[in-house]
Amino acid sequence: MKKAVLQFLISLLLFAAIWFGLSRIDFVGESTTESIGRETERRIGDLLLKQLDLKYQRAYDDSLLAVVDMIHRRICEANGLDPDSISVHVFETSTINAAVLPGRNVIIFTGLLQFAENAEEFAGVHAHELGHIAENHVMERMMSEFGTTLLIMMSGMDAGSEVIANILRILTTTAFSREQEREADRAAITYLEEAGIDPVHLGNFLLRISTRESGRRVPEWVSTHPDSRARAAEIFEKRGEMDAEFEPLYDGDWEALMR
């Protein structure tokens, strides 16, 4: 009995020490740009990606992946972002969703690509997700939502597959704050304009996805990116202030590419 109590106290003290040490790190401030913050974020991202790989199959269509990569690089390079510092992962599933994971990872589900009516709509969504990365929203959200669980994961202890699966579920099915959504939208509008891509298509996507037929399953992207109608109206307003003409982004057959 005494041995069990002693082991419990030692475990409690060890946990308290880990908690104290990690509480000294500013995970959502300037230190996230330092090596320890970036490495921690990368490790969490890798754990979540492994969970996704268990659940979905990767997309292997070379033509599709080439277009996704082209759009990613065009937006990044036009805005002074290193495209190779951000990994884009495409998974085969009918779910209409895209998400950002720690470690500068963008997750794209083929259901979203198929729902997009053209390359510009997808580019708008992708620019929005890049905005979340630039504003460090994903780590802010993880720290505010997961607390102790995240700290245990960061310490290198085994959080367990169920915990990891739950974190992944929350990151891909629950919403960012309204202010974070506005920040990502503002970044997306700038990114798109600089890349020569008409941001009106992001507004069209938001408006259309918010008015899907009644009786059909609401896209996951709506649950993670709320207030679609109001956001679309703001994008249309910003587009109206632009004195610019935009060329088509992709000269191929988008619908055929999505088959």
Q: Is 95 helix (H, G, I), strand (E, B) or coil?
A: coil
| Residue 74 to residue 25: CA distance in whole angstroms | 35
Which is higher by pLDDT, 95 or 58? 58
User: What are the strands of the beta sheet with 105-109, ordered from one edge?
Assistant: 57-58, 87-92, 105-109, 98-101
Q: Are 121 and 96 in contact (CB under 8 A)?
A: no
Instruction: Please state at what angle helix 228-240 crosses helix 178-194, rounded to 10 degrees.
Output: 30
**Taking residues 22-50, what's their average pLDDT?**
62
Which is higher by pLDDT, 75 or 148? 75
- Lowest mean pLDDT of 78-82, 86-90, 250-254, name the range: 250-254
Which is higher by pLDDT, 76 or 168? 76
Compute the mean pLDDT over every residue in the chain, rounded to the nearest whole number: 81
Which is higher by pLDDT, 161 or 194? 194
Pairing of strands 98-101, 87-92: unpaired
pLDDT band at 217 (very low <50, low <70, confident <90, very high): low
- The predicted pLDDT at position 162 comes to 75
Per residue in 96-135, pLDDT tens? Answer: 999 999 999 999 999 999 999 999 999 999 999 999 999 9
Q: Which of left, alpha, beta for 136 (phi over 0: left; psi -120 to 50: alpha)?
A: left
| Residue 225 to residue 97: CA distance in whole angstroms | 10
Q: Which residue, 51, 64, 45, is CA-closest to 111?
A: 64
Per residue in 180-192, pLDDT tens? Answer: 988 999 999 999 9
H or E element in which residue 205 lies: helix 200-210
Domain boundaries, the chain: 23-245
Can you read off the two tokens belonging to residue 64? Answer: 């599709």
**Taking residues 194-204, what's their average pLDDT?**
96
| Adjacent-strand bridge partners of 105 | 87, 101
- The predicted pLDDT at position 169 comes to 85
| Residue 165 to residue 142: CA distance in whole angstroms | 14
Distances (CA, A) of 37 to 44, 128, 139, 150, 257: 11, 23, 10, 13, 39
**Taking residues 195-211, what's their average pLDDT?**
91
With a cut of 60, say whether residue 215 has pLDDT above it.
Answer: no
With a cut of 80, say whether residue 212 has pLDDT above it.
Answer: no
- Lowest mean pLDDT of 31-45, 146-160, 206-220, name the range: 146-160
With a cut of 80, say whether residue 65 has pLDDT above it.
Answer: yes
| Adjacent-strand bridge partners of 108 | 90, 98
Q: Which residue, 112, 122, 136, 139, is CA-closest to 250?
A: 122
How many other CB atoms sit within 10 Å of the CB of residue 245?
7
Pairing of strands 105-109, 87-92: parallel
Q: Are 87 and 105 in contact (CB under 8 A)?
A: yes
Q: How many CA atoms lie within 13 A of 191 on its CB side?
A: 29
Residue for token pair 């990606």:
49
**Taking residues 125-150, what's their average pLDDT?**
83
| Residue 163 to residue 167: CA distance in whole angstroms | 6
pLDDT band at 73 (very low <50, low <70, confident <90, very high): very high
Q: Are 150 and 139 in contact (CB under 8 A)?
A: no
| Residue 68 to residue 125: CA distance in whole angstroms | 12
Whole-prediction pTM: 0.81
- Lowest mean pLDDT of 33-42, 55-64, 221-230, name the range: 33-42
